[in-house]
Amino acid sequence: MMKKKEILEFYLDNDLNEIIFEKEQNHFLFGENKKIETKTKQSKQAQQKNIVEPMLSTSQALSELAKKAQKNSNNDKNIATANSVDEASSAKFVPINDIIAAAKKAAAAAKTIAELRKAVENFDGCGLKKMATNTVFSDGNADSKIMVIGEAPGNHEDLQAIPFCGDSGKLLDEMFKSIDLDRSKFYITNVIFWRPPGNRRPTDEELAICRPFVERHIQLVDPKIIILVGSTSMSAILGINDPVTGVRGKVIEYAPNFMKRKINCFVVFHPSYLLRQSGKKRIAWRDFLVIEKELQKS
């Protein structure tokens, strides 16, 4: 008969995962095994959950039961709310082309930047809005000839309704400061006006829905220079899907059909990328010097 230690070693050597019982077991007895299996499952579950369940007094047990009942009823309410939202949204399902057409109409109707801001705030066609705290439209000087366009609001931006006001925004401000620019001298916005959950990349549909507002924004600001921050805004505005590395540091002429003249564009690394890859900051500073030179020309 194998001793408990030997059995354990056997299990370990053979990468088996079975509970060793206090009493020795005959694993070849089918009937016995059945009982053992149930016992084993229970103890495995307890082990996997790593729970130590204390004994409760009657009053504690009743209070625990009351808490559980409350939690379950809250869950039911949440499910009911989620269902009604689902029902409402599925009842009101609108094809993407119709949403984009509505965005175009609302954007075209805006005759000033203030009206455009209102139009974006009132627009319900982008699903991101349902989950966002605020619409994040713009910051800075709308009379400036420099328009900076980033990707989408993050957590700080969502809470404060100001683009680039979190850590990456602080770094971006530092970079502009190095060429003597602050938000009184440039205008800043994003290609998406609501925070994507978990800061995920916006989908193509979300970008397409916001695009009419972004294009109208560019028309109304009428900048001489656009600085695109990161690859998402680069691909949304210029349709370039290459890595930023190959596009940065040079002037790119942007000639959309909704503008009467060309706009000089620059693509820079996104500050959140620079926060992760600080070795790239040197190149980024150099890019800002190129932008400074271009600004001196105009």
Residues that bind ligand URA (CB under 6 A): 150-154, 157, 163-164, 168-169, 190, 229-230
Please state the closest distance from residue 93 (CB atom) to ligand URA, in A: 30
* CB nearer to ligand URA: pick between 123 and 193: 193
Give the nearest residue (CB) to ligand URA: 150
CA distance 69 to 39: 29
Beta-carbon contacts of residue 39 (< 8 Å; ≥ 6 apart): 19, 21
Contacts 24+ apart (CB under 8 A), 231-238: 231/270, 232/151, 232/152, 232/191, 232/201, 232/202, 232/207, 233/149, 233/150, 233/151, 233/190, 233/191, 234/267, 236/191, 236/207, 236/211, 237/149, 237/191, 237/265, 238/265, 238/267
CA distance 50 to 94: 48
Please state the closest distance from residue 216 (CB atom) to ligand URA, in A: 19
* CB nearer to ligand URA: pick between 25 and 158: 158
* CB nearer to ligand URA: pick between 144 and 190: 190
Please state the closest distance from residue 131 (CB atom) to ligand URA, in A: 16
Beta-carbon contacts of residue 43 (< 8 Å; ≥ 6 apart): 19
Please state the closest distance from residue 104 (CB atom) to ligand URA, in A: 24
* CB nearer to ligand URA: pick between 144 and 189: 189
Please state the closest distance from residue 156 (CB atom) to ligand URA, in A: 7
CA atoms within 13 A on the CB side of 257: 1
* CB nearer to ligand URA: pick between 7 and 139: 139
Please state the closest distance from residue 117 (CB atom) to ligand URA, in A: 15
* CB nearer to ligand URA: pick between 7 and 267: 267
CB 254 within 8 A of CB 149: no
CB 153 within 8 A of CB 194: yes
* CB nearer to ligand URA: pick between 188 and 263: 188
Residue count of the chain: 298
Please state the closest distance from residue 255 (CB atom) to ligand URA, in A: 24
